[in-house]
Every structure is written in structure tokens, then in C-alpha cells.
Amino acid sequence: MDTIPHDPAWQKWIEGKIKRDKWNRRRALIKKYRVLIASSAVSFVGVTALFFWKIYPLIQEHL
């Protein structure tokens, strides 16, 4: 027999706690690596801008 009686409210609270804990872990991970994430995004945007600024016109000349 279960030590905890089946209670829908308790079950719903546990499921909500699992979701909250999951989001809190995800939020903590993003907070920990936010500088790395931001610098990676800036690098990606920079490379994309450089591509369209320098390389894309050269490709258009040859088409």
C-alpha cells in the first residue's frame, strides 16, 4: 500500500513543482552562460554581416 494517499491536489502540486524546478535549472544555466551565449550571438551576427557586406556582392557578379 502507498504511504502517501492518492490526492489529486498533491499530485498536481508535485507536477507543478517538477516544472518549476526544470525552468529554474534552465534559467540558472542561461544565467551562468549568458556572456558566452551573448558573445556567440554577436559573433554570428558579425560573420553574417561580413558575409553580406563583402562576399555576397562578389557572388552576385558571377551569376
Chain-centroid distance of CA 46 in Å reads 20
At residue 54, the pLDDT reads 87
Please check whether residue 32 lies inside any domain of the structure. yes
Segments in 1-63 forming alpha helices (H) = 8-32, 34-50, 56-62
At residue 2, the pLDDT reads 57
Please check whether residue 50 lies inside any domain of the structure. yes
In order along its 63 residues, the chain shows pLDDT tens digits of 455 668 888 899 999 999 999 999 999 999 999 999 999 999 999 999 998 888 888 887 777
Q: What phi and psi, each to the nearest 5 degrees, are found at residue 6?
A: -70, 115
- The grid coordinates listed for 18 are 517538477
Quote the number of domains for the chain: 1
Please check whether residue 22 lies inside any domain of the structure. yes
At residue 1, the pLDDT reads 45
At residue 44, the pLDDT reads 95
Please check whether residue 54 lies inside any domain of the structure. yes
